[in-house]
Amino acid sequence: MGPYILGVIVLFVVIVIIANIKIVPQAYACILERLGVYHATWSTGFHVKIPFFDRLSRRISLKEQVVDFAPQAVITKDNVTMQIDTVVYFQITDPKLYIYGVEHPMSAIENLTATTLRNIVGDLELDQTLTSRDTINVQMRVILDEATDPWGIKVNRVELKSIIPPREIQDAMEKQRKAERERREVMIRAEGEKRSAILVAEGQKESVILKAEAEKQSAILAAEAEREVRIREAEGEAEAIERVQTAIAFGLQKINEVNPSDKAVLLKSYETLARVADGKATKIIIPSDLQSLASYSSIIQGALGDAK
């Protein structure tokens, strides 16, 4: 009987020791009470408690938690009642204060959130409430973080999940948004027509400029062509005059070579004068030595009489 009882006692002691060994996982903490009084906070790792004296009161998660509270009825400064849904992101930083600081921490945070939201929105009008979400979020986070600090809770962020105004307000806002969309549509259409008109005008302007440039180039080319024609005509006339003068010079050279008599020269002068005065010329050049011609005329007449 003795060995059997001893074995039972050893087995019982082993079971008790094993039962009082606790391993706290990562991101958790445990509250240890000894004889009903707070004794210690166990962090991550291996721990052993005293049987029958120590008791693990709570195991607390140290991870960030998210609580989505039910929509709260809030009245704005201009007496508009709306439903606002809030989301609170918090984290337990002191497990002891969280357990012993407040009864029902989640309910306390929810009520504190509702009252804080009512106080903030009560100082804002409807339009400010709808357009000041970031401001409301920051104010609520600061107030909640300060209020929950004695509870071992840190509020990291507060978000207004939804703001639901009354139905008639929603209808009015919808009409306003529709009117705003129509106004923007008209503005966009007018801007498009304006740009189109500008592009058309610029195209017409460019067309007129190109047409004027083409006419200018055409006029320049025509003037150059006309100038080239005149130059060629002038060159032809000059060449013809040069040839005539060359022929005259050659004729004079031949006349000088045969040494003509005064009578022949005078006769040639009369022939030339007759051709000049044939009725086609508009100007007649009279030689300055008319007296010489008159003196030679008698000689010519005598020569003609001898010839008969």
Mean pLDDT value of segment 202-213? 87
Write down the H helix ranges in the chain: 2-19, 95-100, 105-121, 126-131, 133-148, 167-258, 262-276, 290-307
CA–CA gap between residue 308 and residue 239 (Å, rounded): 46
Are 116 and 160 in a shared domain?
yes
**Predicted confidence (pLDDT) per residue in 58-68, tens digit:** 899 999 999 99
- Res. 286: pLDDT tops 70: no
**Cα separation of 32 and 151, whole Å?**
18
Q: How many domains does the chain have?
A: 4
Residue 28 shares a structural domain with residue 113: no
pLDDT recorded at residue 183:
87
Residue with tokens 């002691």: 13
| Per-residue pLDDT, 213 | 87
Q: Would you state the structure tokens that stand for residue 262, as one six-digit string? A: 């005064």
pLDDT value at residue 65: 92
Nearest residue to 149 (alpha-carbon basis) of 180, 109, 198: 109
> Domain for residue 282, yes or no?
no
Domain ranges, residue 93: 65-165
* Same domain (yes/no): 112, 24: no
CATH code, domain with 73:
3.30.479.30
22 and 95 inside one domain? no
Section 71-85 average pLDDT: 88
The rounded distance, in Å, linking the Cα atoms of 307 and 21 is 177
User: Is there a contact between 223 and 263 (Cβ–Cβ < 8 Å)?
Assistant: no
Task: Indicate whether 55 and 124 sit together in one domain.
Answer: no
- Reported as a single tens digit per residue, the pLDDT across 139-196 is 999 999 999 999 999 999 999 988 888 888 778 778 888 888 888 888 898 888 888 8
Residue 286 lies in a domain: no
The whole-number average pLDDT for the span 42-53 is 88
What span, in angstroms and rounded, lies between the C-alpha atoms of 106 and 112?
10
pLDDT of 302 higher than 70? no
pTM: predicted TM-score of the whole model, two decimal places: 0.55
